[in-house]
Each structure stands twice: as C-alpha cells, then as structure tokens.
Amino acid sequence: MMINENTSEVFSALNVRTGVPARDYTSFRVGGPMAYFAEPSSWKEAAELLEAAKESRLPVYVIGNGSNLLVSDKGVNALFIRIGSNMSSFGFDGSILTAEAGALLSVVSKASVAAGLMGLEWASGIPGTVGGGAAMNAGAYGGELSQVLREVSFIRDGELITRKVADGDLGYRYSAFAYPNAVIVRAVMELKEDDGGAKARMDDYTARRRDKQPLEFPSAGSTFKRPVGNFAGALIEQAGLKGKRIGGAMVSPKHAGFIVNCGGASFNDVAALICFVRADVYEKFGVLLEPEVKIIE
Ligand SMILES: Cc1cc2nc3c(=O)[nH]c(=O)nc-3n(C[C@H](O)[C@H](O)[C@H](O)COP(=O)(O)OP(=O)(O)OC[C@H]3O[C@@H](n4cnc5c(N)ncnc54)[C@H](O)[C@@H]3O)c2cc1C
C-alpha cells in the first residue's frame, strides 16, 4: 500500500521502521513483517502517527508486549504502534499507582509489593503491559485489573481524554478502552496497604505458574476464553487433545489451555490447531470455545 508524502515525512521523523518481523515482538514468536512499526515516546507522538496513517488510509494496530497476539506470517500491511518501553514510567502517590501504558504489569506488580501495597500480586506473572492489561481486563487467581483500575487516559480522534472507569467499562476479558475504541496511554490504579501477605501471595502465584504452565515454550497464554460454567483447559483435556500437534503448534501436554509453539510454528499451524480444538470440543461437549488470543492477519 502506498503512503503519501506527508505520511512518509511524519513516519521518518518519528523513526518508523519498515518490515520488522512480528515474531520479534510477540510471545508466540510467530508473525511476518509488519509493513510499518513505531514505538512512540509520548501520547503526542502516538497521536501524530495515528493521524499520519489515517491520511494515507493505512490500517493501524496498537499493541503492547504482544503477549496475546497471533500475527500472520505473510506479513501485515499496516502501521503497528507499540506502546512499550518508550512509554513505561510509573510512580506511587500513597496507594495510588500512575503508570504509562507501556509499563510491564510484572514490573508494576512487583514494585507495588515492594512499596508496601497490595492489589496487584496476581499480575506479577502476566507478561503484558498496563495498556494491554487494561484493554483485555487481564486477570488471574481471582484478581483482575477492573478491581484496581480507577482512571484511564487514552487517545481518541487526536485528543487526550482522561476518564474515570465506570461500572460496565470492564468485564471478563472485555474493556471499553481496547483498541480500536481507544489507544490507552496511561492508567491510574488504586491499591491498598499491604496486609502483610502480599509478597507470600505473589510468590505462591509465581510457583503455581511455574508448576502448571508451559513457560518453557513460546505461547500467548490461555488460547481460549473461559466458557460459562466451565474451563477451556479442562474441556480440551477431556477431549483427549493434550499433545495434539499440527506442524510446530501443539496443545501443551502440561496445560491443555495453552497452545504452544514447540519449534518453528507457522501462523497456519496455530490457526489450524485453534480450529481443530474448537471443532472437536464442540462436537464432544457442545461448547464453542472463543479465542482469547487476538488474531491479526
Ligand atoms: C505465559 C503467558 C501467561 C499469561 N497469563 C495470563 C493471565 O494469567 N491472565 C491474563 O489475563 N492474560 C494472560 N496472558 C495473556 C496476556 O499476557 C494478557 O492478555 C495481557 O494483558 C496482554 O498485554 P500485552 O501488552 O501483551 O498486549 P498485546 O498482546 O500486545 O495486545 C492485546 C490486545 O490489547 C490491545 N492493546 C494493547 N495495548 C493497548 C493500548 N495501549 N491501548 C489500547 N489497546 C491496546 C491490542 O490491540 C490487542 O487487542 C498470558 C500470556 C502469556 C504468554
């Protein structure tokens, strides 16, 4: 796709790179060249990039740490805006944590416990950003971002908007602030004074992840959302699909809820395995699993 001269000027002024492999920026380690790839350092830069892409009718994807993404290996003709380490500062004011969207959940979680606070212990093993977490309403072990998220700042139509989080803005793996509705640049969370058990809880969750999750293989975490009244992993296991393999993609024998890349998986391998698992679980149990992983092609 051609971009016009003005778009091209803005892109070069903001160090937009071309042909960057998505596999280098996704935890699945799958994905071909992103036609344009930017890592803005401020909301203004992000807004300029959005505007410039719009001028050339170039599709845009906003991503964080790429830990919930499956990207086509044919490449994607779009501008990928990564809100990552260039926008990752954070700080505490009493029990209030303000973080730029690119800060890692694992980092702010550990820092909050070190600062004598609780409310984010469950997030220490989630490999996403604050922005990606707020877009997914990430959660684990009974916690989720909606419990602590109070305010979100995001770009919409070139403006920076700050809004208090209201009832209904966040639900199970749902957020009103997820791209393309909004580009999250900052979040404010309200934590609580540590009851003395935060560090122990965090360590327990870390140990449980190490024991139960196939962290030794690239993946995007849980492949499917939890169906009402059930667990995706349990259904997949009962269907006898642990270890089921298509090319380099495999249903983890350690945790059936994870599809892992066990070496050189292509986009098609993973996509075909997702389809296979959905069809098989539906046939055996009448439950249609919905992917939690976001697919970009
Ligand atoms: C080993 C492993 C364990 C995991 N465990 C958990 C878990 O326990 N609980 C859980 O909930 N998830 C888990 N995940 C999935 C993933 O880490 C979360 O979904 C996380 O919130 C994604 O954040 P990210 O920054 O990587 O977002 P990405 O994967 O980059 O993006 C995910 C979605 O968020 C949108 N998005 C990202 N940044 C922004 C932004 N700034 N503004 C607007 N939209 C944005 C993207 O457009 C995309 O739709 C796990 C993943 C792995 C690999």
Cis peptide before 180 (omega within 30 of 0): yes
- DSSP states of 73-132: TT-EEEEEEE-SGGG--EEEETTEEEEETTSBHHHHHHHHHHTTEES-GGGTT--SBHHH
Is residue 222 flagged as an active site residue?
Answer: yes
Are 167 and 92 in contact by the 8 Å Cβ rule? The answer is no
**Does 188 lie in the same domain as 256?**
no
Hey, which of 126, 129, 141, 174 would you mutate to test ligand 1's pocket, going by the most ligand atoms within 8 Å of its Cβ?
A: 126
Cβ–ligand 1 distance for 131 under 6 Å, the answer yes
Question: What is the position in ligand 1's atom list of the atom closest to the CA of 84?
Answer: 25
CATH number at residue 34: 3.30.43.10
Taking only the tens of pLDDT, the chain with its 297 residues reads 689 999 999 999 999 999 999 999 999 999 999 999 999 999 999 999 999 999 999 999 999 999 999 999 999 999 999 999 999 999 999 999 999 999 999 999 999 999 999 999 999 999 999 999 999 999 999 999 999 999 999 999 899 999 999 999 999 999 999 999 999 999 999 999 999 999 999 999 999 999 999 999 999 999 999 999 999 999 999 999 999 999 999 999 999 999 999 999 999 999 999 999 999 999 999 999 999 999 999
Q: Is residue 198 part of a domain?
A: no
**Does 94 lie in the same domain as 71?**
no
Number of domains in the chain: 3
Decide which of 24, 49, 82 is a domain's last residue: 82
Cβ–ligand 1 distance for 140 under 6 Å, the answer yes
Q: Is residue 202 part of a domain?
A: no
**Does 145 lie in the same domain as 62?**
no
Are 205 and 121 in contact by the 8 Å Cβ rule? The answer is yes
Task: Tell me how far the alpha carbon of residue 32 lies from the centroid of ligand 1, in angstroms.
Answer: 19
**Does 93 lie in the same domain as 77?**
no
Who contacts 43 (Cβ-Cβ below 8 Å, separation ≥6)? 87, 153, 155, 160, 185, 186
Q: Is residue 50 part of a domain?
A: yes
CATH number at residue 225: 3.90.78.10
**Domain span including residue 138:** 86-193
CATH number at residue 103: 3.30.465.10
Question: Which residue lies with its CA nearest to atom 34 of ligand 1?
Answer: 132
Is residue 124 flagged as an active site residue?
Answer: no
* Torsion region of 138: left, alpha or beta (phi above 0 gives left; psi -120 to 50 gives alpha): beta
**Does 114 lie in the same domain as 69?**
no
Task: Tell me how far the alpha carbon of residue 172 lies from the centroid of ligand 1, in angstroms.
Answer: 13
Q: Is residue 204 part of a domain?
A: no
